[in-house]
Amino acid sequence: MERLTPGYFALVMASGIISIGLGLTGFRLLSVLLFTVCIVAYVVLLGLNLWRFASFRHAMVEDFKDPKRAFGFFTFVAGTNVLGARAAAEGWYSLTAWLLVVSFSVWLVLGYVIPWSAVLSRAERPAVALANGTWFIWVVASQSVAVSAATLEVVMEDARAWLAILAVLSWSVGVFLYAASAIIVALRIMLYELDPKDFDPPYWVAMGAVAITVVAGARIVEMESAPMADATQGLVAGLSVVFWAFATWLIPVLVAAGVWRHYVRKVPLVYVPTLWSIIFPLGMYAVAGIYLGRADRLPIVEAIGSSWLWVAVTAWLLVFIAMTRSVGTALVRPDRT
């Protein structure tokens, strides 16, 4: 429990987004099954994190101070909003609204606390040397707020103007955060020695962050008329296509990095919780293609997203089996964990 990774809510994110994709493509039973996993995982992880805070608070504080782990706390924000978006698909808009209130509050606080505690307050310099793929989770959290706000904007007429503002604001913040994170992480890779073990699964979030930016943009394009929506929909629609193209370009790069890490440099491929940071981007890319294709009337993009969904489903199943075996081994033989 003391060593529970802050980024484990990526399991919720991965299960929820694939459930959404399955629902969009008509696979109702599988969608509900993944939705159930998403709910159970969210409740269990919330309980485990509260337990950790109560019993091992020092470990959680140390995570907040560690630039390689601190940004993982943003998976709670993203997981909460992915769960809320999936709940909205069932028509549970009140639950989605409450989850948005929670996630927005936490996002706002963490957005100031984590950069300070993990980076700016540290004596080590240059800060670029501390960056890794988890920094992109901040972007994902921002865009997840935009997704939930845009989803509710369509059905909550009384709050439409405010939800439109929140959706566009968090989407815009996410775009700028992506640019900043990409520059910092790229400098880290180019200027400092990169051990193959350091090139871990969270680097896939670089693609997932672009993909959720596309999803958020597509949801904004579909919003009902409101001053903020009317002023930005054309811009957001065009940029969403550009972001989807960039996410597509990133996939071969990340696959090649994985081959280099595991095949060339012989880093063992074993289960670690951060593997869910690969599954979420795979699922998000699929949903991004489906949403963007429908919102901008791009049937080829929608077809790519629908086909890619099964890559995400297969990967989710493999990692879920590996996780189950790992947890089972830890419970039976805790001395080997």
Average pLDDT value for the chain: 93
Residue 295: half-sphere exposure toward Cβ, Cα within 13 Å: 26
Task: Note the pLDDT of residue 329.
Answer: 82
User: Would the pLDDT of 1 be above 70?
Assistant: no
CA distances from 80 to 25, 143, 225, 242 (A): 23, 12, 26, 27
pLDDT tens for 176-206 read 999 999 999 999 988 888 788 888 888 999 9
Structure tokens at 15: 């299960």
Radius of gyration of the chain (CA): 19
pLDDT tens for 32-87 read 999 999 999 999 999 999 999 999 999 999 999 998 899 999 999 999 999 999 99
Task: Note the pLDDT of residue 123.
Answer: 73
As a whole number, mean pLDDT of residues 125-154 equals 93
Amino acid found at 326: S
User: Would the pLDDT of 333 be above 80?
Assistant: no
As a whole number, mean pLDDT of residues 160-181 equals 96
Q: For residue 126, is the peptide bond before it cis, meaning its omega torsion is within 30 degrees of 0?
A: yes
Task: Note the pLDDT of residue 337.
Answer: 44
List of residues 6+ apart from 201 with CB closer than 8 A: 133, 272, 274, 275, 276, 277, 278
In contact, 279 and 315? CB cutoff 8 Å: yes
CA distances from 202 to 1, 94, 136 (A): 21, 32, 8
In contact, 45 and 72? CB cutoff 8 Å: no
As a whole number, mean pLDDT of residues 277-302 equals 94
In contact, 87 and 99? CB cutoff 8 Å: yes
In contact, 322 and 315? CB cutoff 8 Å: no
Task: Note the pLDDT of residue 256.
Answer: 94
In contact, 67 and 115? CB cutoff 8 Å: no
